[in-house]
Structure 1
Amino acid sequence: MSMSRIVYVNGAYVPEEEAKVSVFDRGFLMADAVYEVTSVLDGKLIDFEGHTARLRRSLSELEMPSPATDEELLAIHRELVARNGIHDGLVYLQVSRGAADRDFAYPDVPPTLVLFTQEKPQLVDSPLAARGMSVISIPDQRWKRRDIKTTQLLYPSMGKMMAKAAGADDAWMVEEGVVTEGTSNNAYIVTGNTLVTRQLGPEILSGITRTAVLRLAQEAQLRVEERPFTIEEAQSADEAFITSATTFVTPVVKIDGQGIGAGRPGPITQRLRELYIEEGRKAAI
């Protein structure tokens, strides 16, 4: 029998079977919660400071109190990685506004803090990254504050199921004729020596991996344009890819059934993936 994971719930490390949150928790009742996912490589945390900074912003935008300091969160992450023997994987963190009788007005209660780990042995040697992924385009029907990393993930889940039904790996969302982002990732295209990705704003999430990859691209003498692009422009690009904390840099080789470039992972995408993993390992804590 496999060993139970140890998870963290409001100050206690407990076996996952014993982990409990109130049925009155607003994360459960109203998706009144934010989250972060930090990757683990070689037992160390990737881009941890970026994730905690974004967590602070999400909490601030929702007027939600912080349940712990950055130092305390780092200690909890490290303890969970150690207790669960995570070599490559992730740590999921969620903060909800807390438990109170159901009401639309914000209650004055302590927030709920939950963390758990997942093993992901193929984070680096990903078969999807090796073969490239296919995406379909779908309408972006999410709420208008996508810059806040909330747990309102039903439509992205529906998008992934649409992609699965179409025989694709994921979906890119389109609003007013241009791509916003993937269901759980930022979207990019490459034409010649130019990398294009949607500019930051309330329409998309400010990806932590995005920030690192754009810097690496500039250091590699690529021209970076932060602007909208269409599905048609993406289909005629030389390369396309996504970034996220759990996929790093992963090539997109087909959009709505049409091959991109040579129809296989391109050299710029592959190089950016290599650079990101290399730097991530060096800077991991």
Structure 2
Amino acid sequence: MKFAILNGTIIDRSEAKVDVEDRGYQFGDGVYEVIRVYNGKMFTPEEHMERFVKSSNSIGISLPITTEHITQLLEELIDKNNLQLGTIYMQITRGVAARNHAFPTEETVPSLVAYTKEVGRPAESLKIGVKTILTEDIRWLRCDIKSLNLLGNLLAKQKAAEAGAFEAIQHRGQDVTEGSSSNIYIVKNGTVVTHQSNNLILKGITKDVILDLCLKNNIPVEERTFTLDELALADEVFMSSTTAEVMPIIEIDGKKVRAGLPGPVTINLQELFVKEIEKQCGNL
């Protein structure tokens, strides 16, 4: 992808550089968003922008330009990069300042960057499902902020990769929280259960779409903490994220879920989710 956004201007990506004293580089002092693009259109852009602002405000960073301006720039970036199917990565940091743990002065201007990437839909995995592992959730207690501080997530994802798994399902003691880069759901007796949106998980945009689809299609839902025992006894398990969509989980720590086959509720939600994509972005 040839072009990127740097501080409100679309420039050649090769020229999009940040200072070595940018606080995002030195402290992870910033937040980010990943927005899915289908048919050259952003999927749920308003929801992503709302979460971006909320995360930014949560750590005391004010956007240097309006969300309307950012959205316009993102649309221009998609067009200039001729992106049809992929993602936009966007982040804001507190800016460039001499290294000091305390925040710099108010004169420090936040750094805003964005770029695009071609990313296909994981068609085969969506059809057959994926393998996962369990790992203790070692992250901080403000997982609702989409922070650049992702070391705990990275360690979990690497553990999954080394085990030949697609995702790591995290838990705090006996309570399941979320995946290293996804929200986790179980299905029991036709009811979808997923962790409530609080400080222990990221409030997924895809999760919100799924819950809305459940509501509109009379699929029972419970937003609550569920345990490792409930996970092991679930009729179906699936995960969701911006790029994974509604992904069936067919194995956890080497144990098959539903004999290693995606379940009917998961398949139904996949079909409903595709319809929602096509409603917003056109036929896939």
CA distance in 2, matches of 1:70, 1:271: 34
> SS in structure 2 opposite 1:242?
strand
Q: Tell me, in whole angstroms, the C-alpha distance in 2 between the residues paired with 1:214 and 1:151.
A: 26
Alpha-carbon offset, residue 284 of structure 1: 4.0
SS in 2 for 1:145: coil
1:46 touches 1:281 (CA, 8 Å); kept in 2? no
Secondary structure of the residue aligned to 1:241 is strand
Q: How large is the Cα RMSD of the aligned pairs?
A: 1.3
Q: Secondary structure at 2:181's aligned position in 1? A: coil
| Residue of structure 1 equivalent to 2:252 | 255
Q: AA paired with 2:103? A: Y
Larger mean CA deviation between 229-238 and 59-68 belongs to 229-238
**CA offset digits 1:88-120 (Å, max 9, x no partner):** 111111000100001111112111000000101
Alignment of structure 1 residues 191-230 onto 2, 5 Å: 191-230=188-227
Give distance in 2, aligned partners of 1:234 and 1:213: 19
Superposed CA deviations along residues 233-258 of structure 1, whole A, max 9, x for unmatched, are: 11221111111111111110111111
The number of residue pairs the alignment matches comes to: 280
Letter in 1 for 2:99: R
Q: Which moved more, 1:212-221 or 1:110-119?
A: 212-221
Determine which of 84, 91, 106 is the counterpart of 2:103.
106
Which moves more between the two structures, 87-96 or 217-226? 217-226
Rounded Cα–Cα distance in structure 2 between residues aligned with 1:146 and 1:40: 25
State whether residues 61 and 148 of structure 1, in contact with CA within 8 Å, keep that contact through their aligned partners in structure 2: yes
Say if 2:250 and 2:257, in contact at 8 Å, map to a contact too. Answer: yes
What is the distance in 1 between the residues matched to 2:162 and 2:87? 27
TM-score, normalised by the number of residues in structure 2? 0.95
> Residue 280 of structure 1: CA displacement?
2.4
Shift of residue 202, structure 1, vs aligned partner: 0.5
TM-score by length of structure 1 reads 0.95
AA matched with 1:118? K
Paired with 1:212 and 1:202, the residues of 2 have a C-alpha distance of 20
State the identity %. Answer: 39
Q: Tell me which residue corresponds to 1:117.
A: 116
- Which of 180, 183, 198 is residue 183 of structure 1 equivalent to? 180
3-state DSSP of counterpart to 2:57? helix
Unaligned runs of 5+ in 1: none
Q: Secondary structure at the match of 1:174?
A: strand
Indicate if the aligned counterparts of 1:137 and 1:231 stay in contact, CA closer than 8 A.
no
Give per-residue Cα distances to partners, 1:142-195, cap 9 Å, x unaligned: 111000000111121111110111121110111031110000110000112100
- How many angstroms does 1:229 deviate by? 1.4
**1:145–1:203 Cα contact (<8 Å) kept:** yes
Q: Equivalences for 1:49-198 in 2 at 5 Å?
A: 49-107=46-104, 108=106, 109-121=108-120, 123=121, 126-198=123-195
